[in-house]
């Protein structure tokens, strides 16, 4: 997993809970990297799980909620860090449709070692977008947070329904997004 | 926790943090260094590739031009052109950049090609064509142009790259070549026309010579005179054969031979062909035989004259090279392996001297005989087999030979087998020799019109007919005169030469038959032609002549045909 996901996470923790929280949770975790993340480095994605689990213990917020919130937060950070991806799409649906075939494609060029999920999208009606997440990593909640972030960013009122379809080889979540 | 303890804790956290940050920094620097190196190397590689590509594009001898793919506002515009492109078009680079390449088109640029070009480019497809464009100085040039769309990662066409080759010189060469070829073809046509004319010219007196020697031969001569006349006769016949072969091959090679399809009995053709050589075979004490498989239909559709010629050539060839034993001609039905179509397979098998292995592949080549000495011993032009092979080829057949030296040869050919339909008129194939009991008295009653423009021929025919007892012979010099004579008097038979001034034999026959549609009569017309070329016979019969005699006319032929006329006439009466 790319370092940017870790540095942004720790930055968020510091912003929301203070410096000490960062030290506390890193102290709790046995990390191969010792928590010395750089944006351009690549780290074991299990370290991410360890960190959010520790944070959950200290903050008494569920892991799921933390990850969703982080996804939401990260979306707005991406908007600051990489504004070029936001030039084309005019709505949340359009943006989400561009993730797999455009944004992540460019990300992959930038970071050839990035492990990116796959998204299939199709519009069931003008108000409904089906988005299917599949990945080797268990980050469906993270995706959900990013989707929520997208909706909020475009100020689209979108109801999100989820259904997990994990298999032995892959994690899978079907998002049904309906404009209200 | 007291204050100092708290300070202690804070300090230790800060220390930890510093350690962490240092580590992160070190790692970041390491990664940065790696990345920089990687980028540097990639850059080097890219630069090298770009250098090669650039050098190739810049220095290419073909014009290379790149346009954008903006179809709005005046269409795609040139963003790059190489030196060669400037050179070909005569425009400087700064005159080209930003322009639509259609600036190079002009009045003679093919609109159809341009439409295709536009269509291809619109649909993102590549395009290749020859096009006429114009240089800056207004002089047109031909180019071979290939345009490919350049697509980005998303598959969207962003540019077009075109490579143009100036083919003006080639085009001119092509034109020149075409003209030269046409000239050569015209010369060839003139040559074969000359050949045909010349051999016709030679043949007419030759025929007269032969005819006269025949008449001479049947007059009272002593033994020595008779021998001399025979030599004279045989030599003229050989000369005529050579002439015919040369004429045949030159016509085939000039592509002037057209196939004449008629319906006939192939069995009768075999029978007649064998009969033709039976005399010669008897002389050499060779048994000559034929057989036909009954799977072959009674009547087939093919070119009768060509088949007769092929058989004649193969049989005479076999006879020439066989001193004892047999010659067997057989025909059967087969299926062509490649398309399962019916074919007729004919072979001529002899027990002659055979062909040496090393010569067998060249046996169909012009002027090739197994041995040069063969030519001297056996005579002939060496064209017979070449003609035969070409004729078989013309008729979509195959020909081949198997042979063992000293044991004999098998020449075979195949032809498409097409059965004649019930409605077809079947061409009557006359047996070569027929004994007729026609008495002189009956012949002497006949009135004959002989149509020929040549006085020597007229004299010869008159003498010939007189020899067999026919005295009532009128003459006409051409078709027109013949028509006139026929109006005045009823004749029993017309002997019609084919080639004559004013009105030829074909035209005259057509007119006669047309007139007869009203009168309901039918006068037997015997075609006499100096054109020995296969196909003439069918032409005569198709036009409405009843019989066919090719010059030189022999006494026994004319007797047999005229007898036939009388028999037919009598059988009609009864
Ligand atoms: C400008 C927008 C975006 C950028 C620049 C971006 C970039 C990235 C990057 C750098 C990673 C890390 C790859 C790795 O860990 O090796 C990542 C992972 C991921 N991205 Fe995005 N992303 C964007 C938008 C989105 C959106 C809108 C979604 C959800 C719909 C999304 C879903 C994910 C998920 C779920 C992962 C985690 C990897 C996995 O589950 O296998 N991304 N993205």
Each residue's pLDDT tens digit, B86-144? 999 999 999 999 999 988 998 888 889 889 988 888 888 899 999 999 999 999 999 99
Q: In the predicted model, what is the mean pLDDT of residues B434-462?
A: 80
Per CB-CB distance under 8 Å, the chain A contacts of B156 are: none
CB within 8 Å of B410: residues ≥ 6 apart: B347, B348, B349, B350, B401, B402, B403
CB within 8 Å of A110: residues ≥ 6 apart: none
pLDDT for the residue B533 = 58
Give B244's pLDDT tier (boundaries 50, 70, 90).
Answer: confident
B2-13 per-position pLDDT tens digit: 888 889 888 988
ipTM over 0.85: no
Per CB-CB distance under 8 Å, the chain B contacts of A19 are: 13, 17
- Is the full-model pTM beyond 0.80? no
Instruction: Please say if the pLDDT value at position B574 is more than 50.
Output: no
Distance A104 CA to ligand 1 centre (A): 7
Pocket-testing residue among A73, A116, A151, ligand 1, by greatest number of atoms within 8 A of Cβ? A116
Instruction: Please say if the pLDDT value at position B532 is more than 70.
Output: no
What CATH superfamily classification does B63-166 receive?
PAS domain (3.30.450.20)
Given this structure, which CATH class describes domain B260-416? alpha beta
Distance A116 CA to ligand 1 centre (A): 6
Task: List, in sequence order, every beta strand (DSSP E) within A32-170.
Answer: 118-125, 128-135, 158-164
Q: Do A40 and B28 touch (CB under 8 A)?
A: yes
* Residue A92 contacts residue A154 (beta carbons within 8 Å): yes
Give the range among A105-119, B202-216, B217-231 with minimum mean pLDDT. B202-216
Q: Do A41 and B23 touch (CB under 8 A)?
A: no
SS3 B400: strand
Q: Do B28 and A38 touch (CB under 8 A)?
A: yes
Whether domain A82-179 has CATH 3.90.1520.10 = yes
**In degrees, to the nearest 5, what angle opens at C-alpha B246 toward C-alphas B241 and B252?**
125
B241 class by beta-carbon count within 10 Å (0-12 exposed, 13-18 middle, 19+ buried):
middle
For B16, which residue in chain A has the nearest alpha carbon? Answer: A23
Give the nearest ligand 1 atom to A119 CA: 30
Give the range among A124-138, B167-181, B252-266, B388-402 with minimum mean pLDDT. B252-266
B275 half-sphere exposure, CB direction, 13 A CA radius: 12
Pocket-testing residue among A99, A138, A149, A172, ligand 1, by greatest number of atoms within 8 A of Cβ? A99
Question: CB contacts < 8 Å between A and B, how many?
Answer: 33
pLDDT for the residue B381 = 61
Whether domain B178-251 has CATH 3.30.56.10 = no
SS3 B332: strand
Give the nearest ligand 1 atom to A45 CA: 15
SS3 B342: strand
Helix (H) or strand (E) holding B572: helix B555-573
For B24, which residue in chain A has the nearest alpha carbon? Answer: A36
Per CB-CB distance under 8 Å, the chain B contacts of A20 are: 13
- Every domain of chain B and the residues it spans: 1-59, 63-166, 178-251, 260-416, 440-573
Instruction: Please say if the pLDDT value at position B377 is more than 50.
Output: no
Sign of CA dihedral B188, B194, B198, B199: positive
- Among protein residues, the one whose CA lies closest to atom 41 of ligand 1: A117
Shortest distance between the Cα of A40 and any Cα of chain B, in A, equals 7
pLDDT for the residue B422 = 83
- Among protein residues, the one whose CA lies closest to atom 5 of ligand 1: A78
Phi-psi region of B338 (alpha: psi -120 to 50; beta: other; left: phi over 0): alpha
Give B366's pLDDT tier (boundaries 50, 70, 90).
Answer: low
Helix (H) or strand (E) holding B67: strand B63-68
**B282/B288 Cα distance (integer angstroms):** 9
Same fold, B260-416 and B440-573: no
* Residue B261 contacts residue B416 (beta carbons within 8 Å): no
Domain made up of B440-573: CATH architecture: 3-Layer(aba) Sandwich (3.40)
Protein residues with CB under 6 Å of any ligand 1 atom: A 1-2, 4-5, 78, 82, 85, 96, 99, 103, 107, 114-117, 135, 137, 139, 142-143, 146-147, 150
Pocket-testing residue among A6, A97, A117, ligand 1, by greatest number of atoms within 8 A of Cβ? A117
Whole-number mean pLDDT of chain B? 85
């Amino acid at each position: 997993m790319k370092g940017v996901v870790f540095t942004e996470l720790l930055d968020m923790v510091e912003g929301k809970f203070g410096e000490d929280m960062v030290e506390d949770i890193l102290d709790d975790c046995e990390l191969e990297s010792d928590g010395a993340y750089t944006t351009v480095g690549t780290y074991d994605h299990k370290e991410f799980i360890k960190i959010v689990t520790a944070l959950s213990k200290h903050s008494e917020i569920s892991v799921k909620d933390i990850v969703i919130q982080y996804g939401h937060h990260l979306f707005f950070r991406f908007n600051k860090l990489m504004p070029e991806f936001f030039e084309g799409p005019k709505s949340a649906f359009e943006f989400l449709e561009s993730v797999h075939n455009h944004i992540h494609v460019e990300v992959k060029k930038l970071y050839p070692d990035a492990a990116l999920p796959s998204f299939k999208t199709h519009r069931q009606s003008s108000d409904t977008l089906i988005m299917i997440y599949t990945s080797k990593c268990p980050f469906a909640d993270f995706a959900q947070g990013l989707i929520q972030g997208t909706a909020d960013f475009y100020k689209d009122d979108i109801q999100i329904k989820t259904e997990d379809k994990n298999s032995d080889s892959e994690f899978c979540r079907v998002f049904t997004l309906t404009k209200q | 926790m007291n204050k100092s303890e708290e300070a202690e804790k804070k300090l230790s956290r800060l220390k930890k943090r510093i350690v962490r940050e240092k580590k992160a920094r070190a790692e970041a620097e390491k990664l940065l260094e790696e990345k920089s190196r990687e980028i540097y190397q990639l850059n080097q590689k890219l630069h090298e590739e770009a250098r090669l590509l650039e050098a190739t594009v810049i220095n290419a001898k073909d014009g290379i031009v790149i346009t954008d793919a903006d179809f709005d506002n005046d269409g795609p515009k040139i963003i790059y052109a190489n030196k060669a492109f400037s050179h070909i078009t005569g425009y400087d680079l700064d005159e080209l950049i930003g322009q639509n390449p259609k600036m190079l088109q002009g009045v003679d640029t093919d609109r159809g090609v341009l439409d295709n070009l536009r269509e291809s480019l619109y649909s993102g497809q590549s395009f290749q064509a020859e096009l006429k464009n114009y240089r800056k100085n207004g002089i047109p040039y031909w180019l071979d142009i290939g345009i490919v769309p350049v697509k980005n990662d998303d598959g969207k066409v962003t540019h077009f790259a075109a490579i143009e080759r100036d083919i003006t010189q080639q085009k001119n060469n092509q034109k020149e070549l075409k003209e030269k070829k046409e000239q050569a073809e015209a010369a060839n046509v003139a040559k074969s026309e000359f050949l045909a004319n010349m051999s016709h010219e030679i043949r007419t007196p030759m025929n007269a010579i032969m005819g006269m020697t025949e008449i001479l031969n049947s007059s009272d001569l002593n033994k020595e005179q008779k021998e001399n006349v025979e030599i004279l006769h045989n030599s003229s016949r050989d000369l005529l054969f050579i002439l015919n072969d040369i004429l045949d091959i030159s016509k085939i090679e000039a592509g002037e031979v057209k196939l004449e399809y008629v319906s006939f009995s192939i069995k009768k053709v075999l029978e007649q062909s064998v009969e033709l050589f039976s005399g010669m075979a008897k002389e050499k004490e060779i048994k000559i035989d034929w057989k036909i498989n009954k799977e072959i239909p009674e009547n087939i559709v093919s070119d009768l004259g060509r088949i007769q010629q092929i058989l004649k050539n193969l049989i005479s060839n076999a006879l020439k090279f066989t001193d004892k034993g047999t010659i067997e001609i057989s025909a059967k039905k087969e299926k062509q392996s490649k398309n399962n179509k019916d074919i007729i397979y004919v072979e001529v098998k002899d027990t002659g001297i055979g062909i040496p292995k090393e010569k067998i592949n060249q046996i169909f080549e012009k002027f090739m005989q197994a041995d040069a000495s063969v030519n001297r011993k056996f005579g002939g032009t060496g064209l017979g087999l070449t003609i035969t092979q070409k004729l078989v080829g013309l008729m979509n057949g195959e020909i081949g030979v198997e042979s063992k030296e000293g044991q004999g040869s098998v020449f075979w050919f195949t032809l498409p087998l097409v059965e004649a339909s019930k409605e077809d008129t079947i061409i009557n194939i006359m047996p070569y020799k027929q004994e007729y009991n026609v008495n002189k008295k009956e012949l002497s009653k006949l009135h004959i019109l002989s149509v020929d423009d040549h006085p020597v021929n007229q004299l010869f025919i008159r003498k010939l007919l007189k020899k067999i007892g026919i005295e009532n012979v009128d003459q006409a010099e051409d078709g027109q005169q013949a028509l006139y004579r026929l109006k005045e008097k009823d004749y029993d038979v017309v002997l019609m030469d084919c080639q004559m001034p004013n009105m030829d034999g074909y035209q005259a026959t057509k007119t006669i038959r047309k007139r007869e549609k009203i009168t309901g009569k039918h006068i037997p017309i015997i075609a006499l032609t100096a054109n020995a070329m296969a196909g003439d016979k069918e032409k005569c019969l198709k036009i409405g002549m009843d019989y066919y005699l090719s010059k030189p006319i022999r006494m026994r032929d004319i007797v047999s045909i005229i007898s036939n006329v009388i028999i037919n006439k009598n059988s009609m009466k009864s």
